[in-house]
Amino acid sequence: MAKKPMSKTVALMFVLLMMVGTIGMLVDAFLKPSDEVEIPQNRIIKYKLTESQIKELLKNYAKDGGKLGLHPDKGSLPGIEVSTGSLGHGLSVGVGLSLAAKINKLSYKTFVIIGDGECNEGSIWEAAIFASQQKLDNMVVILDYNHLQGFGRTEEVINLEPLVGKWQAFGWSVKQIDGHNFKEIIEAFEQIPFKKNKPNIIIANTIKGKGVSFLEDKLESHYKKINQGELRIALKELK
Ligand SMILES: Cc1ncc(C[n+]2csc(CCOP(=O)(O)OP(=O)(O)O)c2C)c(N)n1
Ligand SMILES: [Mg+2]
C-alpha cells in the first residue's frame, strides 16, 4: 500500500508542461491526503537526475543517439512510459490505461495533456467517443487551450469552437479554468470525477510562452531556438 498526497509540485509540473508546449502523458493517482490506495509499484515514477546527468542530457538534446529527443521516446529515460509526439496518439493510450484500471479494479486515474492544435487529429475524437462509451470517469484530459499551433492560430487553421459543447456532446464532463492559476488547477483536480461514469476534461485557458515577453503568444515561439542573450532575458523575466 502506498499513500500519495496530492501536491502542489504535481500541479506545477502540469503548468510547466503546458508552458513549454509539451504534449505528454502521466499516469498516477491523485488523492486527498487522507485517502489510501494501492498503487501498482511499476506505475510509480521515481527518478532523480544529478546536475551532471542533466547537463549531459541537454548537451545531446535532439542529437542522433542522444537520450533527450524532440519527442519523448519510450525507454530512453525513466518515466517515459510511451512514445508520443505524433499528435493524437497519447489520448488513445491513456484511454486504454483507464479501461485497464476499470477491468482490473485498480483505483489509479490517467491524466493526459493534449494541445488545441492536437484536437485537429481525428484520433482524438475517436478516443473521446470510446472513453465516454466505456464510462471512464477515471480518465482526465487537460486541454492546453493556447490558441496557437505549429503553423498558425487555432481559429485560422481549424476552429475548434464551440469547444466546450463539442466535448459535452462526446459525453465528457467539462470544466474550464485559467491554466496559469494554481488555485484553479488544484481545485479542478480535487473535484475529479466531476460526474460519475463520465470522463473528465479540464480546458485550461493558457497563453503560450507566458511570462517571456518575446515568446508570449507568438507563433514563431513554437520552433524558435533562443540564443544566450535571449536566455538571459527569459530567465530574468521568469524570476
Ligand atoms: C501527427 C503530427 N502532425 C504534425 C506534427 C508537427 N507538430 C508538432 S507540434 C505541432 C503543433 C501542435 O499544436 P498544439 O497541439 O496546439 O500544441 P502547442 O504547440 O500549442 O503546445 C505540430 C503541427 C506532429 N508532431 N504530429
Ligand atoms: Mg496550442
Q: Which CATH class is domain 8-33+88-208?
A: alpha beta
**Which DSSP string do the residues of 177-224 spell out, in sequence order?**
EETT-HHHHHHHHHT-SSSTTS-EEEEEE--TTTT-TTTTT-GGGTT-
pTM higher than the cut 0.85: no
The residues, any chain, with a CB within 8 Å of residue 199's CB and separated by 6 or more, are 98, 128, 131, 132, 136, 137, 139, 140, 141, 171, 172, 173
Residue 73 has a pLDDT of 87
Query: Which of 71, 149, 208 to mutate to test ligand 1, by most ligand atoms within 8 A of the CB atom?
Result: 149
In tens, the pLDDT along 41-93 reads 655 556 677 889 889 999 999 899 888 888 888 888 877 888 888 999 999 99
User: Does the CB atom of residue 222 touch ligand 1 within 6 A?
Assistant: yes
Residue 7 has a pLDDT of 45
User: Which ligand is nearest to the Cα of residue 220, counting in written order?
Assistant: 1
Burial 146-167 (b: 16+ CB within 10 A, else e): bbbbeeeebeeeeebeebeeeb
Tell me how far apart the alpha carbons of residues 85 and 87 are, in angstroms, rounded to a whole number: 6
Name the phi and psi angles at 205, rounded to 5: -75, 120
Q: Which atom of ligand 1 is nearest to the CA of 150?
A: 11
Residues in the chain with pLDDT < 50? Answer: 1-37
User: Does the CB atom of residue 89 touch ligand 1 within 6 A?
Assistant: no
User: Which ligand is nearest to the Cα of residue 151, counting in written order?
Assistant: 1
- Name the closest-CA residue to atom 25, ligand 1: 86
Rounded to the nearest 10°, the torsion over CA 123, 155, 225, 8 is: -70
Distance (Å) from CA 156 to ligand 2 centroid: 12
Beta bridge partners of residue 27, listed in sequence order: 110
The one-character DSSP state at 67 is S
User: Does the CB atom of residue 87 touch ligand 1 within 6 A?
Assistant: yes
Residue 179 has a pLDDT of 97
Residue 84 has a pLDDT of 85
Tell me how far apart the alpha carbons of residues 111 and 200 are, in angstroms, rounded to a whole number: 10
User: Does the CB atom of residue 208 touch ligand 1 within 6 A?
Assistant: yes
